[in-house]
Amino acid sequence: MQRVTVSTPGKLILLGEHAVVYGYPCIVAAVDKYLSVSVTELDAEEDKIVTPGVADQSFVKEAIHIFKEKFSLKKNISLTTKSELNNFGLGSSAAVVVATIKALTNLFQIDLPNKELFDLAYKSVLRIQGKASGFDIAASIYGGTIYFDGKTKKTELLSKKELPLIVAFTGRKGNTRAMIKKVYELRKKKPELIDKIFCRITQLVKSGKEAIKEKNWGELGQVMDENQVLLTKLQVTTPAIDKLIIATRKAGAYGAKLSGAGGGDCIIAVVSAMRQRQVKKALRKNGGKILDLTVGVGGRI
């Protein structure tokens, strides 16, 4: 029986989280850690889904459901996953949805352009998560470092090369849904203030875009520092995140911030080759777990 396997990269958001949910742009980079999905046809009453390394099966189930609905498919499938993304907030939900839909299109020989793959994957994530920008889906489909427009969902490739970033896990998994809700409530209470913050974040995203294109890492670090100040105002940082960020700066990083919804997960720091050792040491000393990955290089699906 034919078996199809598709691998998609995980991601880290570099600038613009939360604002992107409200239609503003962000910058996201794929990482060289992958999630793969294997599928075969199954002669059974229902699908068989085994997902080690993917904590929440609802995303896979929804992706299969949406795929079957869209292509009026009556057949059942067996699906298994293999993940290098672990529980570090590297975008396993988006990656598994993209890989599932892509694997199913390959298995059933359906030609689905990436734009439509994005739309189906985004629909799946929205049904489960309620609110989401889709930036992580774009990263899993296109790879590299991309500028993502939260309104039009258009992407612009900024780089395919490794970025000089160190990534450290705080030790605690963040809850994306809860953090999105927190910012939503804050915006309901203080719309003008929050929209002003989102506009400033957008300016930083634009500066960061130029800095990445010019490989101006000092500037990128500075922009990340400012973005972190604004994320603190959005109340999504934690003492563990702050501690790691302060440690990286003291050890000579160009700049650092949390990456993702906040409340835990990872911090990212822009660091010159000369300072790598000191920054890693400082992060470990302050409770961070350095992730062994390369940022900005995950391949196109």
Is residue 198 near ligand PMV by the rule CB under 6 A?
Answer: no
Residue 201 CB burial class (10 angstroms; 0-12, 13-18, ≥19): buried
Q: Residues 136, 195, 225, 242: which is the catalytic one?
A: 136
Interatomic CA distance for residues 112 and 52, integer angstroms: 27
CB of 179 to ligand PMV, least distance (A): 6
**Cα–Cα separations (whole angstroms), residue 241 to 79, 272, 273, 289:** 36, 21, 23, 12
**Within positions 156 to 185, which residues make up the interface with ligand PMV, using CB under 6 A?**
174, 176, 180
- Which of 8, 92, 105, 133 lies at the binding interface for ligand PMV (CB under 6 A)? 133
CB of 128 to ligand PMV, least distance (A): 12
Contact 77, 107 (CB under 8 A): yes
Is residue 147 near ligand PMV by the rule CB under 6 A?
Answer: no
Tell me, yes or no, if 136 is annotated catalytic: yes
Is residue 101 near ligand PMV by the rule CB under 6 A?
Answer: no
Q: Where are the alpha helices (DSSP H) in 84-190?
A: 92-107, 114-129, 135-142, 176-189
Strands 48-50 and 76-83: parallel
In the chain, what are the helix, strand and coil shares in percent, each to the nearest 5?
45, 25, 30
Nearer to ligand PMV, 29 or 39 (CB): 29
Is residue 261 near ligand PMV by the rule CB under 6 A?
Answer: yes
Is residue 85 near ligand PMV by the rule CB under 6 A?
Answer: no
**Buried-exposed string 214-248: b where 16+ CB fall within 10 A, e elsewhere:** eebbebbbbbbbbbbebbbebebbbebbeebbebb
Is residue 59 near ligand PMV by the rule CB under 6 A?
Answer: no
**Within positions 5 to 24, which residues make up the interface with ligand PMV, using CB under 6 A?**
13, 17-18, 20-21
- Which of 107, 132, 168, 271 lies at the binding interface for ligand PMV (CB under 6 A)? 132
Contact 247, 285 (CB under 8 A): yes
Dihedral angle over CA of 81, 5, 66, 48, nearest 10: -50
Is residue 100 near ligand PMV by the rule CB under 6 A?
Answer: no
CB of 133 to ligand PMV, least distance (A): 3
Is residue 298 near ligand PMV by the rule CB under 6 A?
Answer: no
CB of 198 to ligand PMV, least distance (A): 11
Residues that bind ligand PMV in the complex, under the rule CB under 6 A: 13, 17-18, 20-21, 89, 91, 132-133, 135-136, 174, 176, 180, 260-261
